[in-house]
Amino acid sequence: MKILNELLPVEELGFGLYFAPLKASSHYSKGKWGPTEYSSDLTMRIGSSAKVLHYAQEIFEGMKAFRQVDGSVAFFRPHANWARLNYSARLMAMPDFPEAEFMEMISKMAKQLDHLVPAKPGALYFRPTMIGTSESLGVATSEEFEFFVLASPAGGYFKDVSSDKPVSVKIKVSDKYTRAAPGGTGSAKTGGNYAASLRAILEAKNEGFSNVLFLDAREKSNIEELGGMNFFVVDQGKLKTPPLGDTILAGITRDSILRLAKALDIPCSEEELSIYDVADKIKQGKITEAFACGTAATISSISQLGWKNETLNLGSSSEAGPVSTLLYKTLTDIQHGKSKAPESNWIYPVR
């Protein structure tokens, strides 16, 4: 683990490679959470039979603190992260974590780590995590848990960094692997869902792609999401994204984009997107843009979709389209305090 005490240039940070020397944690036992502890020791000790190691009882969140134009630091929609954390907890048979303690944890950490918050386009990424720590090998929910928060100064998710436009990436559409099935835990932010995408992503990277776009498990026809990001297209000027369900994570960046689109008078809808229809419309020039979005990557323009034996090109291989560029710039300006958010609770100043 690489610990940073001084900030590196944003173009050298990458994503998730360096860690701040501070962790907050709380332990759950006998039906209640204990006091928060802060430590510079990022290591932890758990039993070899802990539930998290054998039955993957684990959830996490991804959120960022941004350097504002006035030099202060603020989080972007942290209450939404807290709400989604507890949604995931309920799906994974884990206890809710109190909102007041959550906000106090991240605020205290951000204050102490002010010197490690990069300027735009970087941010200080926070990883709140909950794991089951009870020691037994029976298939059952844990009775003890640990909740902890790590912080990581971050630059670009796909290495490239830009302050005014999204990076462009190539994505492979998988007709071989699926990420989640109806009735499962696909809408929880839990490690198992990401593990399900690893082999597909590895194979795609070996073929020159950056990530994988998954289809529904039943028909392998409708687009769902990438391995960690939601998906949008611009279809004849209208912004479209697949509707949420129990196989798609309710991305906070996804929700923010839909709200921003309405504020910017960009027509938008949540509707099923058949890969066959999307492929045909790209060939016909009706779908002119596609992009992926998430906290880590913000917005990444998709320049190419690899589908079966076809290469589907969207616009320029190096330049994002006008809609994705507008949404990216608007969103990042809001996150860094350069522009006003459309809703008052989006920006949470660190005091």
Question: 133 and 175 share a domain?
Answer: no
Question: 190 and 292 share a domain?
Answer: yes
Question: 149 and 25 share a domain?
Answer: yes
Question: 282 and 183 share a domain?
Answer: yes
Among 105, 123, 154, residue at a domain's last position: 154
pTM, two decimal places = 0.95
Question: 94 and 42 share a domain?
Answer: yes
Question: Is 86 domain-assigned?
Answer: yes
CATH code (residue 328): 3.20.10.10
Question: 149 and 172 share a domain?
Answer: no
Q: Provide the residue range defining the domain that includes 302.
A: 168-335
Residue 297: per-residue pLDDT: 87
Residue 316: per-residue pLDDT: 67
Residue 165: per-residue pLDDT: 83
Question: Is 134 domain-assigned?
Answer: yes
Among 132, 154, 176, residue at a domain's last position: 154
Residue 160: per-residue pLDDT: 64
Question: Is 277 domain-assigned?
Answer: yes
CATH code (residue 150): 3.30.470.10
How many folded domains does the chain comprise?
2
Question: Is 220 domain-assigned?
Answer: yes
Question: 147 and 211 share a domain?
Answer: no
Question: 149 and 176 share a domain?
Answer: no
Question: 296 and 147 share a domain?
Answer: no
Residue 162: per-residue pLDDT: 62
Question: Is 340 domain-assigned?
Answer: no
Name residues whose C-beta falls within 8 Å of residue 209's C-beta, 6 or more positions apart in sequence: 169, 170, 171, 172, 306
Question: 66 and 129 share a domain?
Answer: yes
Question: Is 254 domain-assigned?
Answer: yes
Question: 329 and 185 share a domain?
Answer: yes
Question: Is 50 domain-assigned?
Answer: yes
- pLDDT, tens digit, 9 for 90 and up, residues 45-89: 999 999 999 999 999 999 999 999 999 999 999 999 999 999 999
Residue 159: per-residue pLDDT: 60
Question: Is 348 domain-assigned?
Answer: no
Which of the residues in the chain have pLDDT under 70?
158-163, 316-318
Question: 217 and 310 share a domain?
Answer: yes
